[in-house]
Amino acid sequence: MYMLNDSEAAELLSFLTPATRPDIKGHATSYILGLSANRDGCRFLRTKPDFIAALFALTSDPSIAIAKDCYHILINLSAEETLHQVLLTDIGVVPTLLKNLKDPQYPFSDQICTILSNLTRHEKTCKTLFKLLQEEIGLAHLVDMLCTEGYNPHAKLHYLAPLLSNLTQMPDARRFLMDRDRCVLQRLLPFTQSQASAVRRGGVIGVLRNCCFDYANHEWLLGNQVDILPFLLLPLAGPEELSEEEYEGLPVDLQYLPEDKKREEDPDIRKMLLETLMLLAATKDGRRTLKDKNVYVVMREFHRWEKDPKVTTACEKLVEVLIGDEPEEGMENLLEVDIPEDVQEKLKAADKEQQELQAEEERIRKQQEEEQTHTRQE
């Protein structure tokens, strides 16, 4: 890809000013948008912080098209981890982004959510941004924006969910969401089945999974105050008929589901749900609750339906815990058990072998289907 020399770069930079004629400015931002769409272009722009500062200033340009181009450039740049420090520290984009995000009439709030979500993917920049967020807007307001339908008529704000998921890498963020006097986490639970957006569903489930790493809260999460289990199980449950005995043990929300009940369509989200259940099953009380609530029955039917090898493996691991014997005394909390390195290596090797076997079985199955289709056509 052709890169600008110094004189060409200087000329292009001179066009990125509020006073430049709109058509020339538009051509310049459009060119840089194309440049930012690949890694080499992002690396080039990383060496040109003046360009990034000028583009950030143009996000407030009177021309909607130019401002939109500049936001899309920032989305592309924020996807590159090597540019995070430039954006956060050198340019200092976050305070302005947060101020604009808080405005319920701001037209580019969706783009801001995506940028902030990108910037919080990695722990170091996530810590920095979380601190700024608490100073400028506050986590409570962020949750309120996500949960308030029509908060901004110009934006859907779906990417607030993965932003929250990234932020809950931080213990302080998890503590806030699980503050028992605030009732914050409970507001997010219905979005595990949001039909509006897979991004929103996945982000909220990511939040729940992160919260379940704090095993001291498992009893509260599974208890009546939160009752997290139905919200994790319902997306995995199908319309299959069960015996009366099996129905009786299930949470009420999972009993006698309609014939047209569909499971979560995104395999990555299904896998996250299983991982969250697995975390809850890591403690003795959690395992007891999952067993008492007949989670195995839902997993049995789910396993028969599931076709994705990675999701199937996650399901099988959960089932092994649910139907297996209880760990010996002193090892009941699976999140606290230290596994020797040689055992870890054996488990990784076995896991890899199982995945390869499943991939080969899937390849053979698809080949057989193609052969059958070819035969029918003949």
Residue pLDDT, tens place only, 15-39: 999 999 999 999 999 999 999 998 8
CA-to-CA dists, residue 331 to 219, 283, 316, 340, 367, angstroms: 18, 10, 21, 14, 45
Q: Which residues contact 301 (CB under 8 A, 6 or more apart)?
A: 237, 238, 240, 242
Cα–Cα distance list, 112 to 96, 119, 160, 181 (Å): 10, 11, 9, 30
Displacement of CA 120 from its chain's centroid (Å): 11
Query: pTM score, two decimals?
Result: 0.84
Radius of gyration of the chain (CA): 25
Task: Specify the DSSP element, H or E, that contains 168.
Answer: none
DSSP assignment string, 224-289: TTT--HHHHHGGG--S----HHHHHHS-GGGSS--TT----S-HHHHHHHHHHHHHHTTSHHHHHH
Q: 94-211 belongs to which homologous superfamily?
A: Leucine-rich Repeat Variant (1.25.10.10)
pLDDT surpassing 50 at residue 264: yes
Dist. CA 14–CA 73, nearest whole Å: 18
- Residues 43-95: tens digit of each pLDDT: 889 999 999 999 999 999 999 999 999 999 999 999 999 999 999 999 999 99
271-323: per-residue pLDDT in tens? 999 999 999 999 989 999 999 999 999 999 999 999 999 999 999 999 999 98
Residue 335 reports pLDDT greater than 80: no
Structural domain spans, the chain: 1-92, 94-211, 231-324
Q: Are 3 and 34 in contact (CB under 8 A)?
A: no
3-state secondary structure of 307: coil
